[in-house]
């Protein structure tokens, strides 16, 4: 059994780490140094806010250092690295600024909003009524004027920007005033675009009117898997008081040390990385569109994020495509969303995006044998095994 387990992990590492083009926009790769901290001694330890545990002197300093650098990277008044995932960060924000029966306004899952926020998930758990943002699928964005009217009519207690399908900045600036005037607490779920925000290449929710920016640390950000909350002082201090013991007990200090180093990487290399991510997405989107793939939003230049979206009409249809790509070791989800974070972090640039588009075309249009394409995918991956945008 033990050998089989080790064998499976090794096979996975060899396959997904070395032979696959990993294009899922929810995923990224950590630098070797961040990965090393994730398996450090800190992973054995506990702390608690009430000082129940001894032996935490270095951990406490690591937490302070992590918060300090997070505040700097995001120009936030407060930072909290304890949420164990983006979902938990969402929960912490929602639960602390709503009560049962309040109205939550956000992007609905059918328009690419995060399903975990909606009726079957957090909104249902917290007994919140959901009202979707009026949304244009053509422009992949919130319809500002209609949203203003809805906010005035519904007076949501909480408004959350950000989404799982996110190719363009959301109009936080245009809607924050009316939301605030109508009594809403404003948040931005930056799970997908956190690395682009940190790199100054997407939008800046905390300057545009959001009280808090929160989400995952491992999609466009440099990892490890986990969550974070950045906020203004007023809202951030309330959340910090409540994280323990209600939402997080042990915060996984190995993760926090690793995240602190990832934040330092982002501070130094974030701008160059995020700029290249967006360039890569735009290059890949155009090349795929030119081959005839159903890439959305050609009239808007396709994308300003790490995501390229191809519309096959349904997840079922998307799955058929994703499975064909998987046979060629090209890994996407079933939307189909293609993400450029990981390949960018591995050092790929515009030229390689053209190669990826060609590999996708050979798989789906030319219908070449997957075996042949897998060899070329492996060759491309082999050239880009090193992780870039990190300290050497
Ligand atoms: C917009 C958004 N928020 C939150 C989450 C949840 O993040 P995590 O997987 O870190 O819990 C996701 C996950 O994909 C997401 O897309």
* pLDDT tens per residue, range 115-127: 999 999 999 999 9
pLDDT for position 50: 81
Q: Is residue 215 part of a domain?
A: yes
* Domain of residue 368, CATH code: 3.90.1150.10
pTM confidence score: 0.98
Q: Helix, strand, coil shares of the chain as percentages rounded to 5?
A: 50, 10, 35
Strand partners, 228: 215
In the predicted structure, residue 383 carries a pLDDT above the cut 90: yes
pLDDT for position 273: 99
Q: Is residue 7 part of a domain?
A: no
pLDDT for position 161: 99
How many domains is the chain partitioned into structurally?
Answer: 2
Give the residue numbers spanning the domain of 281. Answer: 269-383
Residue 13 DSSP one-character state? I
Q: Is residue 176 part of a domain?
A: yes
In the predicted structure, residue 184 carries a pLDDT above the cut 90: yes
Interatomic CA distance for residues 106 and 164, integer angstroms: 12
Q: Is residue 177 part of a domain?
A: yes
Residue 117 DSSP one-character state? G
Distance 217 CA to ligand 1 centre (A): 10
Distance 219 CA to ligand 1 centre (A): 9
Res. 49 pLDDT band, cuts 50 70 90: confident
Question: Do 162 and 188 have their domain in common?
Answer: yes
Question: Do 85 and 154 have their domain in common?
Answer: yes
Handedness of CA 65, 30, 386, 389 (dihedral sign): negative
Mean pLDDT across 202-214: 98
Res. 48 pLDDT band, cuts 50 70 90: confident
Distance 322 CA to ligand 1 centre (A): 20
| Last residue in a domain, options 229, 263, 297 | 263
Distance 82 CA to ligand 1 centre (A): 16
Q: Is residue 158 part of a domain?
A: yes
Question: Do 238 and 342 have their domain in common?
Answer: no
Tell me the CA distances in angstroms from 317 to 110, 312, 313, one per residue in order.
Answer: 16, 6, 7
Question: Do 211 and 329 have their domain in common?
Answer: no
Distance 375 CA to ligand 1 centre (A): 33
| Last residue in a domain, options 215, 238, 263 | 263
pLDDT for position 69: 98
Q: From the CB of 87, is ligand 1 less than 6 Å away?
A: yes
> To test ligand 1's pocket by mutation, which of 86, 107, 188 has the most ligand atoms within 8 angstroms of CB?
86
Question: Do 166 and 253 have their domain in common?
Answer: yes
Q: From the CB of 283, is ligand 1 less than 6 Å away?
A: no
Q: What is the largest CA-CA distance in the chain?
A: 63
How many C-beta atoms lie closer than 10 Å to residue 37's C-beta?
Answer: 23
Q: From the CB of 217, is ligand 1 less than 6 Å away?
A: no
Q: Is residue 125 part of a domain?
A: yes
Mean pLDDT across 152-169: 98
Handedness of CA 119, 121, 123, 126 (dihedral sign): positive
pLDDT for position 74: 98
Res. 51 pLDDT band, cuts 50 70 90: confident
Question: Do 349 and 219 have their domain in common?
Answer: no
Q: Is residue 16 part of a domain?
A: no
Question: Do 179 and 273 have their domain in common?
Answer: no
Question: Do 284 and 257 have their domain in common?
Answer: no
- Residue 215's contacts (CB-CB under 8 Å, 6 or more residues apart) are 86, 89, 90, 162, 189, 190, 191, 192, 194, 227, 228
Question: Do 186 and 288 have their domain in common?
Answer: no
Q: From the CB of 114, is ligand 1 less than 6 Å away?
A: yes
Q: From the CB of 224, is ligand 1 less than 6 Å away?
A: no
Q: Is residue 126 part of a domain?
A: yes
pLDDT for position 57: 95
| Last residue in a domain, options 239, 263, 287 | 263
Interatomic CA distance for residues 281 and 343, integer angstroms: 10
Question: Do 342 and 229 have their domain in common?
Answer: no
């Amino acid at each position: 059994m033990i050998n089989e387990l080790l064998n499976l992990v090794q096979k996975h590492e060899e396959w997904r780490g070395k032979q696959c083009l990993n294009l899922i926009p929810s995923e990224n790769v950590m630098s070797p140094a961040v990965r090393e901290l994730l398996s450090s001694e800190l992973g054995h330890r506990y702390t608690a806010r009430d000082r129940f545990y001894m032996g935490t002197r270095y951990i406490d300093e690591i937490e302070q250092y992590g918060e300090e650098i997070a505040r700097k990277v995001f120009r936030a008044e407060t930072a909290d690295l304890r949420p164990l995932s983006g979902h938990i960060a969402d929960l912490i924000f929602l639960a602390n600024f709503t009560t049962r029966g309040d109205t939550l306004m956000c992007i609905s899952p059918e328009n690419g909003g995060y399903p975990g926020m909606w009726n079957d998930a957090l909104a249902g758990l917290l007994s919140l009524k959901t009202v979707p943002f009026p949304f244009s699928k053509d422009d992949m964005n919130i319809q500002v004027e209609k949203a203003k009217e809805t906010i005035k009519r519904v007076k949501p207690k909480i408004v959350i920007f950000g989404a799982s399908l996110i190719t363009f900045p959301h109009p936080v600036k245009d809607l924050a005033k009316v939301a605030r005037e109508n009594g809403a607490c404003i948040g931005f779920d930056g799970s997908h675009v956190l690395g682009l925000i940190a790199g100054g290449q997407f939008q800046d929710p905390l300057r545009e009117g959001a009280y808090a920016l929160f989400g995952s640390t491992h999609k466009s950000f440099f990892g490890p898997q986990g969550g974070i909350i950045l906020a203004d002082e007023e809202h951030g201090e309330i959340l910090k008081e409540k994280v323990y013991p209600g939402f997080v007990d042990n915060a996984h200090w190995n993760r926090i040390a690793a995240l602190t180093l990832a934040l330092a990487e982002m501070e130094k290399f974030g701008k160059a990385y995020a700029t290249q991510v967006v360039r890569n997405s735009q290059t890949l989107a155009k090349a795929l569109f030119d081959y005839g793939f159903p890439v959305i939003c050609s009239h808007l230049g396709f994308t300003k994020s790490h995501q390229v979206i191809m519309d096959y009409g349904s997840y079922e249809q998307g799955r058929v495509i994703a499975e064909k790509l998987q046979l060629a070791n090209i890994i996407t989800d079933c939307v189909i969303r293609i993400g450029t974070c990981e390949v960018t972090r591995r050092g790929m640039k515009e030229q390689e995006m053209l190669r990826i588009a060609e590999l996708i075309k050979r798989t789906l249009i030319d219908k070449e044998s997957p075996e042949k394409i897998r060899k070329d995918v492996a060759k491309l991956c082999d050239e880009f095994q090193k992780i870039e945008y990190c300290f050497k």
